[in-house]
């Protein structure tokens, strides 16, 4: 079997002159000496050039290595990169390469990744929709689009009803948010789960005020209700509400995750494969979470390679809750990149059985969508916002 001979990052997307959420993605191709190819993906997040260069930098460690030796290779990078434990760029670059190596391992063995990690616990993976509420501002906007989501068969959907409020939210802001939440709950009924995204942007006092409003709408969970570094605020939040808390998309290693679980601060862990260390570390963190009786709801607000890799792991772990997906709201080129091979049907994704992460890459799409530069920066609407919702006026 071959050794790694090249690691190539590709910045893909559509250049725009207006804010377009998650418009770019970093795709990584790992090639071995006998011509086998594995694919990975990582984040951009206003760091497009930085992430491309980070992948190129880390590749110096991996060239000549056996892609099967995922643990040994991880330790080699950890040894050399003094800042690995605190660097998003380091862990995210490594994550893409780790995913690509698992894709290679699957292709060499002729098995899908889930078979290599323990086999299936489930043949299909429950999905919650995200990205569906682009340009929603009024309750009527949310009602219309929520009904469209349910008509596609989804049994769960997530959204951020808080507009441009940041850190602090007034009573008026809470009233506006409630109108949106109520509209969605009434549109989808009680048999569909709603999940409330906070984007980790409130102080604990505002988050508690929001929680008192949300309790009557019975969300499956609230995501990142306070700023992610505000441990003390999260403790106060937990003491003042019965709402279930999900967090973890910004955690970059398993030790950080243990901190939250050991303090009883999280019900559902949302580690993201592109930040946590790829499939290798995500599988470990799932096992740790199981010991704490915490279910996994992997975060994925990126592209189709991460989506496919996440589904492979979702199929295996016993403590799976639900998987985030933007699939039906991807730009068409992202679905074309994997030949539309992980569709959501009836609110579930069928676990792919092809070798590796289960998808075939259309390299013509790569050629047609290679770009240079960074995401368009709109100072009136952060890039993490679902487009057109960073407004409060009704």
**What is the side-by-side strand order in the sheet with 4-13?**
4-13, 24-32, 37-42
pLDDT for residue 16 is more than 60: no
pLDDT, tens only, 242-255: 999 999 999 999 99
- Quickly count: other Cβ atoms within 10 Å of residue 213's Cβ: 17
Listed residue (24, 2, 3) closest to 12, CA to CA: 24
The SS3 of residue 344 is: strand
Task: Using pLDDT thresholds of 50, 70 and 90, give the confidence band for residue 391.
Answer: confident
DSSP string, 268-308: EE--BHHHHTHHHHHHHHHHHHHHTT-EE--B--S-HHHHH
pLDDT for residue 17 is more than 50: no
Mean of pLDDT values over 121-143: 98
pLDDT for residue 168 is more than 90: yes
Mean of pLDDT values over 133-158: 98
Listed residue (373, 358, 253) closest to 305, CA to CA: 358
The per-residue pLDDT for 14 is 72
**Which tokens is 14 given?**
């559509």
pLDDT, tens only, 225-271: 999 999 999 999 999 999 999 999 999 999 999 999 999 999 999 99
DSSP state of 250: T
The per-residue pLDDT for 374 is 78
pLDDT for residue 20 is more than 70: no
pLDDT for residue 176 is more than 90: yes
Kindly report the length of the chain: 394
Listed residue (227, 225, 293) closest to 264, CA to CA: 293
The per-residue pLDDT for 372 is 84
pLDDT for residue 105 is more than 70: yes
Listed residue (232, 244, 228) closest to 205, CA to CA: 232
C-alpha–C-alpha distance, residues 361 and 367, integer Å: 12
Least confident segment among 195-204, 362-371, 385-394: 385-394
Catalytic residue among 114, 198, 199, 227: 199
What percentage of the chain reaches a pLDDT higher than 70?
A: 97
C-alpha–C-alpha distance, residues 306 and 83, integer Å: 24
Domains of the chain: 4-112 (3.30.390.10), 115-362 (3.20.20.120)
Task: Using pLDDT thresholds of 50, 70 and 90, give the confidence band for residue 46.
Answer: confident
pLDDT for residue 70 is more than 70: yes
Q: Which is more confidently placed, 203 or 15?
A: 203
C-alpha–C-alpha distance, residues 166 and 200, integer Å: 9
Listed residue (299, 274, 275, 296) closest to 287, CA to CA: 296
Active site residue 299: yes
**Which tokens is 4 given?**
């790694």
Widest pairwise Cα distance in the chain? 63
pTM across the whole model: 0.96
Q: What is the mean pLDDT of the chain?
A: 95
Task: Using pLDDT thresholds of 50, 70 and 90, give the confidence band for residue 19.
Answer: very low
End-to-end distance of the chain based on CA atoms, in angstroms? Answer: 61
pLDDT for residue 18 is more than 80: no
Whether 225 and 187 have beta carbons less than 8 Å apart is answered as no
The per-residue pLDDT for 257 is 96
Residue 30 φ then ψ, to 5°: -110, 125
pLDDT, tens only, 280-335: 999 999 999 999 999 999 999 999 999 999 999 999 999 999 999 999 999 999 99
Residue 140 φ then ψ, to 5°: -65, -35
Task: Using pLDDT thresholds of 50, 70 and 90, give the confidence band for residue 393.
Answer: low
pLDDT for residue 22 is more than 60: no
Catalytic residue among 114, 198, 227, 299: 299
The per-residue pLDDT for 47 is 87
The SS3 of residue 327 is: helix
CA distances from 3 to 32, 50, 63, 94, 216 (A): 5, 26, 8, 17, 56
The per-residue pLDDT for 379 is 87
């Amino acid at each position: 079997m071959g050794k790694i001979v090249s690691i190539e990052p590709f910045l893909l997307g559509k250049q725009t002159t207006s804010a377009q959420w998650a418009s770019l993605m970093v795709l990584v191709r790992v090639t071995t000496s006998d011509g086998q190819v594995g694919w990975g993906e990582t984040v951009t997040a206003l760091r497009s050039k930085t992430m491309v260069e980070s992948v190129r930098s880390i590749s110096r460690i991996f060239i000549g290595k056996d892609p099967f030796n995922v643990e040994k290779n991880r330790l080699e990078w950890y040894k050399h990169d003094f800042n690995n434990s605190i660097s998003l760029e380091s862990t995210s670059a490594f994550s893409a390469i780790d995913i690509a190596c698992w894709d290679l391992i699957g292709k060499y063995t002729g098995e899908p990744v889930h078979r290599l990690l323990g086999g299936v616990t489930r043949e299909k993976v429950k999905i919650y929709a995200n990205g569906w509420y682009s340009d929603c501002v009024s309750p009527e906007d949310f009602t219309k689009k929520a009904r469209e989501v349910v008509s596609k068969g989804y049994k769960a959907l997530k959204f951020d009803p808080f507009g441009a409020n940041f850190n602090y939210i007034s009573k008026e802001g809470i009233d506006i948010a409630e109108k949106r939440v109520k509209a969605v709950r009434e549109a989808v009924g009680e048999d569909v789960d709603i999940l409330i995204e906070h984007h980790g942007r409130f102080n604990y006092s505002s988050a508690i005020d929001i929680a008192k409003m949300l309790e009557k709408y019975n969300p499956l969970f609230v995501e990142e209700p306070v700023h992610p570094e505000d441990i003390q605020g999260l403790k106060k939040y937990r003491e003042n509400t019965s709402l279930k808390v999900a967090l973890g998309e910004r955690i970059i290693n398993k030790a950080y995750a243990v901190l939250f679980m050991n303090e009883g601060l999280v019900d559902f862990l949302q580690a993201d494969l592109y930040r946590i260390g790829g499939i290798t570390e995500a599988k470990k963190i799932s096992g740790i979470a199981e010991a704490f009786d915490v279910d996994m709801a992997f975060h994925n607000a990126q592209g189709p390679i991460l989506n496919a890799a996440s589904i492979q792991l979702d199929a295996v772990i016993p403590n799976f809750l639900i998987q985030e997906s933007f699939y039906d709201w991807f730009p068409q080129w992202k679905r074309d990149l994997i030949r539309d091979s992980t569709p959501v049907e009836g609110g579930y994704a069928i676990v792919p059985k092809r070798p590796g992460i289960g998808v075939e890459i259309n390299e013509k799409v790569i050629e047609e969508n290679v770009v240079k530069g960074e995401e368009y920066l709109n100072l009136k609407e952060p890039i993490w916002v679902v487009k057109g919702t960073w407004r409060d006026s009704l």
